[in-house]
Amino acid sequence: MCLVRPVWKAYSSPSYSPIISTRMINCILLSVLVSFAYLLVFLSVSMLQPKDTLNAYFSSSQDQPQSLTEIEHIVFGIGSSLNSWPARRDYVKLWWDTQRMRGCVFVDQPLSSLENNTDSHLLPPICVSEDTSRFRYTWEGGDRNAIRIARCVLETVRMFNNSADEVRWYVFGDDDTIFIPENLARTLSKYDHRSWYYVGAASEIYHQNWLFGDDMAFGGGGVALSSSLANVLAKNFDSCIERYPHLFGGDSRIHVCVLELGVGLSHEPGFHQFDVNGNALGILTSHSTRPLVSLHHMSHLDPLFPNSTTFSSVQHLFSAVELDPLRILQLSVCYYRPYSWTISVSWGYTVQIESKHMFLRDVLRTQETFRPWQNFGGLASVYTFNTREFNPDPCKRPVTFFMEYVSSTYGTITSVYKQAYENCTYEPISSPRNIEEIRVFSRRLDPDIRQLKAPRRHCCDILPTTWTGGKVMKIGIRECKEDEFIYMQP
């Protein structure tokens, strides 16, 4: 370092002029040269520094891409009771995989040794809920078990948040909630679990949403919380519950506590609360282009397939789920111009043929095959989607073919549908009732994240058939071409 002191020379004159020494000038020049050299070196190093390294330096961990969410990343909390579990455990057994899944079924009292040991290797572990008697519950005529069910969030997070295996999501449902695990995992892959997400769907009934909240994830359809949100929520969950003794259900309590953290609902139509009774065909055959994630209240619905029980019909549906889970219930519509037929394929469930031309927007309206959850009229019979009449005369309804079986050969999946016969008269040539069987050919559906975020309906074609006396129709399902429209071709 140069320590410079200016030298002043005195004159006889009353004013003085400073004179800078040669040493000071040299030090200044040296400092400038050193600074310039340092700048050149810095710029050279910066230019040689890889862009990726710089991007990594300035990027936070939140910006890093994540892999697809797998079933192993999800922990389940299932609300049940000593009374309901024996009747509903078989439904859970349909979708639970002990090798890949983690979670617990929460009951109010310990099960007997017989109930707890029978087929226990095929079911989630049983956990007895903590005592909730200290919390107030003031909903007149309600069930204070709602507090216990809400606290499944807290108890599940406590149980698994220090797990050696990564937990990305906590998912909660009832013991009669049937999840499609592959579809659940793929749906949640759209969201970054490192951010706060509250995912689910509202009820199908306007009145239910008006009463409990149309921005609430209804518990029967399932509630998904990203692990980052669930961990924060669990810390003060009890104090939040204490503020809301007047609410009805456990899902309402989860909802308000999430709201207090400033988080709103990310709506996913694949979660199905199913607040309806009777025949669910209309809702299932107009399913969203989003994957089917859950079904609820199956015991309140008619069997999904003819000549079967409620349980066996769900079991039959799962035979298609096993081969192509992401395509289950996905609707494709095509037209048969010679007879002006409108054909809709709800994959793995039904094929329906209308013996008339229908515009696509009308086909997509939900057939009102079901009854309201409650029968007091007014808003109770108002749905949250567009409906169309389900003709009381079976012979004036679309001809429906139900899935018989699904098989796969060399990558091609074949699903076979048989007609549900009605005692109707028909013109032997122009009526679709002349067809006995429909065979649908497709490839396994495997959309990436981009396609999941912006799904597009698949197209279908009527395929030529060898002579079968007009009894068999063949249909192919494929991705639509870029500029292809779904309408009756001229």
Question: Which range has highest mean pLDDT (10-24, 47-61, 70-84)?
Answer: 70-84
* 3-state DSSP of the chain: CCCCCCECCCCCCCCCCCECCHHHHHHHHHHHHHHHHHHHHHHHHHHHCCHHHHHHHHCCHHHCCCCCCCHHHEEEEEECCCCCHHHHHHHHHHHCCCCCCEEEEEECCCCCHHHHHCCHHHCCCEEECCCCCCCCCCCCCCCCHHHHHHCHHHHHHHHHCCCCCCCCEEEEEECCCEECHHHHHHHHCCCCCCCCCEEECCCCEHHHHHHHCCCCCCCCCCEEEEHHHHHHHHHCHHHHHHCCCCCCCHHHHHHHHHHHCCCCEEECCCCCCCCEEECCHHHHCCCCCCCCCEECCHHHECCCCCCCCHHHHHHHHHHHHCCCHHHCCCEEEEEEHHHCEEEEEECCCEEEEECCCCCHHHHCCEECCEEECCCCCHHHHCECCCEECCCCCHHHCCEEEEEEEEEEECCEEEEEEEECCCCCCCCCCCCHHHCCEEEEEEECCCCCHHHHHCCCCCEEEEECCCCCCCCEEEEEEECCCCCCCCCCCC
pLDDT at 224: 98
pLDDT at 296: 96
pLDDT at 57: 36
Give percent of the chain above pLDDT 70. 84
pLDDT at 12: 40
Residue 62 has pLDDT above 60, yes or no: no
- Average pLDDT value over all residues in the chain: 88
Q: 23 or 324: whose pLDDT is higher?
A: 324
Predicted confidence band of residue 19 (pLDDT cuts 50, 70, 90):
very low
Of 475, 436, 467, nearest to 335 (Cα)?
Answer: 475
Q: What is the largest CA-CA distance in the chain?
A: 134
Q: Which domains does the chain have, with CATH numbers?
A: 71-273 (3.90.550.50), 331-478 (no CATH)
Residue 17 has pLDDT above 60, yes or no: no
How far apart (Å, rounded) are the C-alpha atoms in residues 47 and 35? 18
What's the start-to-end Cα distance of the chain, in Å?
90
pLDDT at 8: 39
How far apart (Å, rounded) are the C-alpha atoms in residues 9 and 6? 10
pLDDT at 61: 44
pLDDT at 380: 79
Residue 93 has pLDDT above 50, yes or no: yes
pTM of the model: 0.85
Distance from chain centroid for Cα 110: 32
pLDDT at 271: 98
Residue 59 has pLDDT above 60, yes or no: no
pLDDT in tens, 257-315: 999 999 999 999 999 999 999 999 999 999 999 999 999 999 899 999 999 999 999 99
Residue 32 has pLDDT above 80, yes or no: no
pLDDT in tens, 462-488: 999 866 667 999 999 999 999 999 999
Asked whether the beta carbons of 74 and 188 are under 8 A apart, the reply is yes
Q: Hey, how many other C-beta atoms are within 10 angstroms of the C-beta on 469?
A: 7
Asked whether the beta carbons of 179 and 224 are under 8 A apart, the reply is no
Residue 5 has pLDDT above 60, yes or no: no
How far apart (Å, rounded) are the C-alpha atoms in residues 149 and 434? 52
Predicted confidence band of residue 421 (pLDDT cuts 50, 70, 90):
confident
pLDDT in tens, 168-205: 999 999 999 999 999 999 999 999 999 999 999 999 99
Q: What DSSP state is assigned to residue 127?
A: E
pLDDT at 60: 45
